[in-house]
Amino acid sequence: MKDYNIENIRNICLASHGGSGKTTLAEAMLYDAKATTRLGKVDAGNSIMDYDQDEIDRKCSINLSLAHFNWKGKFLNLIDTPGYADFMGERIAGMRVADSCIIVIDVASGLEVGTEMAWQEADKMNLPRILFVNKMTKENVNFREILEKIIERFGTSVLPVQIPIGSGSSFKGVVDLIEEKAITYENGKMTESEIPDDMKESFESFKEKMVESVAETEDSLTEKYLDKGPSREEVITGLKTGVTSGKLFPVLCGDALSSAGVDRLLDGISKYLPSPKDRPPITGKDKSATRETSPDAPLSALVFKTLVEPHVGELNLVRVYSGVLSSGREVINSTKGSAEKISQIFLFKGKERIEVKEIKAGNIGALVKLKNTRTGDTLADKGNPIVLEGIDFPRPAASIAIVPRTKADEDKVSSGLARIAEEDPTFSVKYDAELKQTLIYGLGELHLEVVVSRLRRKFGVDMELVKPRIPYRETVRRKVEVQGKYKKQSGGRGQYGDVWVRFEPLKRGSGFEFVNGVVGGSIPSKYIPSVEKGIRGAMQKGVIAGYPTVDLKATAYDGSYHSVDSSDIAFKIAGSLAFKKGQETAGSYLLEPISAVEVVIPEEYMGDVMGDLNSRRGKIQGMESEGTLQKIKAAVPQAEMYRYSSQLRSMTQGRGTFSQTFSHYEEVPREIAERIISETAKEKEQEK
């Protein structure tokens, strides 16, 4: 492979809402650059970038995918990312290691939630970006309308550098505002010509605004603009400076499916988007350690995705920020403090692997069979370590319980889930001993469906999916004083423990408090810890429905003992008896976990979504605007959030996203509590 200078490398991430045409655009780029001999298509299942079986079956991207290719002297690393919220972890990982971003917008669908989220993430990471308005061959679309919406949402820094020639079936190509030419496409052939007469007025208007915006980014250009206007070369240089600094966001347009405008987008990437050298200096987590973006600097590299592949083992996708990663070299995983030896190194083009001897600063590749390295880890020189900022992945928002059909399936499920969790930081699994269920967690039901599909296909597992049980709690309403007395005599030494305990409710979330209030020696102090142990043990199964009891204060204040028959076990049993009697008389009731839920949706769905949250016993906590979107904050019982992501997708045509985290416990309404108690009793009866 040709060795490119770092100034000629471009690391670009494709990001936007699902279905906007990112993967189709990636395929068109590869084909136009002659990196592939055929134009892969998502609908035909022969895409280079979407090669996972689940992606082929579902006709959508699930994993980030890499491809490298050459374009007019530039070396491009393309990172194609999924658009659906269930797989946003892949997008975040891809954007973390990119130097720039292309936001793809479906001209017919407009600004969708995934596009807004991609823009916000690019803002957080200070990523320069280009907007590509796609699908211009769709009928009844209006470029000016979508442009107005883009500018309204993302600001006047959004800058068209092209305007379309026609739309729908009459879409022929674009007018390049910088080159001052009409670029038309017919049967895959590109032709340059003069600007049509009927477009000259539009051209002049857009050109004037573009030059003015570029000139405003630099004082020297402003002076030239006011004088006679900057030259074409000065506009291109000024535009790149504005894009790199985040002051300008060029807008291009075209149609990825027919490849119209794709070559001009590739030119725009080469001209306007930054190389790794143009980006800010590399700093470590502690900010004091820095690296120059150069192959001559000490090594710093970030692992942004771990893959587990059959017959290969683990592959770690890595971005090299400084120095050189070479085969046979020993490095340190500075995140974990462990040594690693680099063996094989690959570049990716979809699922195709091209082995290379080294990856230099600014480039992206894959490492095979590292011992103890995972997503988010830093690789560095042994003698000059640095720890880079990791990747801030979103928390899981959905869960489901899985039940293996057989013992053999149980073993395979365990190892399979562990493998999947290694690959996907937004997925987790745990066995909940209290609920007696294996729970899997992900960003949504679609995410979990894909995980289950992989388990079945890759590991041959047969399993049942069931609704997760809810970790209810019990507590008391009023203060009571009760006696717990245990006396047993059956020949020989007996058992005797007698304690009086005052139980009273605590503030929600306080847990349990035990107080020794015994005075005068009515119970020897050596037995008091046993009383507490007995109460704590009994609290694990409340008397209403067998759920743990919380927010309770227990004060042992009196009792009696026998000099021969009293023992630790006797007072432990006495403590548990006191608890059970106390809970029966203290007005015990059921608590349920409440989730803090945030839903982000376009405004037109506000009524439906708020009505649905209310029907789930949710309490609206507030609303706020996020650009053209609305964020609803609500407190919703966890029991009511099962399969919520599917319902939200249905209500909003896939344009809504949500997150949920545990907030607190609240009392369950009486009629619902009665149903829960009845259902729990039936379950216990069936388990006998």
Q: Where are the domains of the chain?
A: 6-176+248-278, 282-380, 398-464, 477-587, 592-672
Asked whether the beta carbons of 8 and 75 are under 8 A apart, the reply is yes
Q: Which two tokens mark 493? A: 């030494």
Residues of the chain with pLDDT > 90, as a percent, come to 73
Place of tokens 């073993």: 411
> Cα(494)–Cα(199) distance, rounded to whole angstroms?
104
Beta bridge partners of 482: 501
Please check the confidence at residue 622 and state whether its pLDDT lies above 60. yes
Cβ distance 613 to 620 under 8 Å? yes
Contacts of 271 (CB under 8 A, 6+ apart): 236, 239, 240
Tokens representing 126?
């200070």
pLDDT at 266 over 60: yes
How much is the pLDDT for 414? 87
Say which range, 127-141, 271-285, 456-470, has the weakest mean pLDDT.
Answer: 456-470
| The pLDDT of residue 252 is above 70 | yes
The CATH number of 398-464, from 3.40.1190.20, 1.10.510.10, 3.40.30.10, 3.30.70.870, is 3.30.70.870
pLDDT at 32: 95
Among the listed residues 162, 117, 108, 113, the one whose alpha carbon sits nearest the alpha carbon of residue 138: 108
Query: Distances in Å between the alpha carbon of 2 and those of 29, 76, 235, 356, 585?
Result: 20, 13, 31, 11, 81
CA neighbours within 13 Å on the CB side: how many for 256? 24
Indicate the pLDDT class of residue 327, thresholds 50, 70 and 90: very high
Topology of the domain covering 282-380: Elongation Factor Tu (Ef-tu); domain 3 (2.40.30)
**Model confidence, pTM:** 0.87
pLDDT in the model for residue 313: 77
What HEC string does 41-96 produce? CCCCCCCCCCCCHHHHHHCCCCCCEEEEEEECCEEEEEEECCCCHHHHHHHHHHHH
Could you tell me which CATH number the domain at 592-672 has? 3.30.70.240
CATH 3.30.230.10 fits 477-587, yes or no: yes
Do 398-464 and 592-672 have matching folds?
yes
CATH code for residues 6-176+248-278: 3.40.50.300
Which of the four pLDDT bands, split at 50, 70 and 90, describes residue 231?
confident
Rounded CA separation 9/186 (Å): 31
Distances (CA, A) of 488 to 115, 203, 495, 565, 687: 72, 99, 5, 9, 31
